[in-house]
Amino acid sequence: MKILMLGWEYPPHISGGLATACQGLVESLLKKGHEVLFLLPKAVKEMQSERFRLISASNVELPKKQDSITYPQLRKLIPNVDPTQIHNLSGDKYNFSGAYGPNLIEEVYWLGVVVSKLAKELEFDIIHAHDWLTFPAGIIAKEISRKPLLVHVHATAFDRSAKINREIYEIERQGMLVADKVMAVSNLTKKIIIDKYHIDAKKVITTYNGVKQKDISQNLDTSRFKEKIVTFLGRITYQKGPEYFIEAAEKVLKRDRNVRFVMAGKGDLMAEMIKIVAVKRLSSHFHFTGFLKGHEVDRMLAMTDVFVMPSISEPFGIAPLEAIQANIPVIISRQSGVAEVLPHAFIVDYWDTDSLSEAIYGLINHKSFAKMVKGLNRVTLQNLTWGHAAETVSSTYQSVA
């Protein structure tokens, strides 16, 4: 089948797990014989192979005249953007940043305009939209082409902050309502979609992410520290539960000074976390790395003895899978979708820092325990491929085509 896929990022442009997930899924769909046209705001470079095209919306000429669908729809979905107040128009193209900056909602709007042109000119069988950023574009593409729309929910407004953004919630809800099928990255997310967005359960399908199988025997630096390294890797935001990691670190360090904690990543809570660590007088054993790029992530993992993901709300969470691949024992919160596919991971409630610190202490002090957790998880991982994910997606395509 020919798929018009709408996304916000694609490697090498990576901000969170979304780019990696899109790539993993696309590559496996291609292997299954599908064709994919992938539209995103701004591609680092446009790519084209036999059955794959990465289209940068920044390079698409805006439609010359208005149609009866696009602007009314956009006015309804995104009432706060005024199309006459355009900031980044250059000639007849809109210059997307593709970032998550202050113009985000405006870019979401203009992606809808761009897609209206493609929906008329390109041929495809199905529209597959990743997350709310592309849902307005997905809805417009469906209305113009009359092709089925599948929305793929990697995260919801409930996972992003304690305070729900009503504007985004409404866009998400409209996307799910209009869609023929809704794909959720875990049962946790499926439940939110049913309970909080009131979407018919029959329409929602859980599609777990996969993980790229890669060779871990590469030669990377190991730790320069004599102490064990416990790592938090991800955005330092409310949703990721960074303060619980610090709390657990404090408890472990009270008993065992032979360990260092690393918080790798950046985010809006970073400054606050640095402050908390200083107030708790943990700074000599607690380190912040800032944002890590791809190969730096690999190096960080190579140094790591225990990987912790204490997320408060994590729709899925690919990071622990990468840690398992790097042969590291992982501890994840029960509030992470990925826990559903890792029956042998060490699972704790995010707020239970007693259990979390105990597990960290156990993993750094008992070799057999770490070995078991690693071994059992690696076996699980072998069955958690993007090929499997693509199979579920494929059969969902079949069901609506």
Interface with other proteins (CB under 8 A):
251, 254-255, 343-344, 346, 354, 357-359, 361-362, 365-369, 371-373, 376
Cα 305 to Cα 141: distance, rounded to the nearest angstrom: 47
Residue recorded with tokens 């203009």: 110
- Who contacts 155 (Cβ-Cβ below 8 Å, separation ≥6)? 131, 189, 315
Enter the tokens of residue 192.
């939110």
Cα 393 to Cα 401: distance, rounded to the nearest angstrom: 12
CB 288 within 8 A of CB 263: yes
Classify residue 336 by its DSSP letter: B
Q: In what order do the strands lie in the sheet with 286-290?
A: 286-290, 259-264, 228-233, 306-309, 330-333, 346-348
Residue recorded with tokens 């790798």: 264
**What is the widest separation between alpha-carbon atoms in the chain?**
69
3-class state of residue 259 by DSSP:
strand
Cα 185 to Cα 310: distance, rounded to the nearest angstrom: 18
State CA 71 to chain mean position distance.
Answer: 29
Cα 242 to Cα 233: distance, rounded to the nearest angstrom: 10
Enter the tokens of residue 93.
């193209």
DSSP per residue over 43-105, as a string?
-SS-EE-SSEEEEEGGGSBPPSS--SSHHHHHHHH-TT--TTS-SSEETTEE----SSSTTHH
Q: For the chain, how many residues are written?
A: 401
Q: What angle do CA 155, 143, 7 make, to 5 degrees?
A: 35
